[in-house]
Amino acid sequence: MKITELMNKDLIIPMLVAKTKKEALKELVDCVVKKESKVDSTELLRVLLEREELGSTGIGDGIAIPHGKIKRIENLIVSFGRSPDGVDFQSMDGKPTHIIFLLIAPENSAGIHLKALARISRLLKDSAFRRNIMGASTSQEIYDIIAQEDEKY
């Protein structure tokens, strides 16, 4: 499974304007809804916020991987947002989050959802990859960096 098989550059926000976790999630949800007509923005935001109440998806090192399952979609959807200033995601390390991968899975999926989370986590372990993402200026550049890293595994 390649992350680039699950996303396209239209689902990448190179400059999030959000200042809070909820605003960042809303901005990413709005981006997804523009491309994926089957996704209900209210339902998706509710699911993501409920997941965050269980524990932050901010995993540290400036990274968050919010995720959730919703009805009416058949395939995984991956969106990406970058915040140069950082967003308080209540990460485990207490530092601001700059790189956010949003993962949305069909309600009845399990294995593929976990595989995608593991794949994204593996990509993000590489500090050079994270630096390259932060240095990119366009959606296309970010997509190309993700694709390039995706090919290594």
Q: Which of 67, 98, 119, 130 is catalytic?
A: 67
Q: Closest Cα partner for 16 from 92, 94, 102?
A: 102
Our answer to whether residue 98 is catalytic in this structure is: no
* DSSP per-residue letters across the chain: --GGGT--GGGEESS----BHHHHHHHHHHHHHHH-TT--HHHHHHHHHHHHHHS--EEETTEE--EEEETT--S-EEEEEEEEEEEB---TT-PPEEEEEEEEEETT--HHHHHHHHHHHHHHT-HHHHHHHHH--SHHHHHHHHHHHHTT-
Just list the catalytic residues. Answer: 67
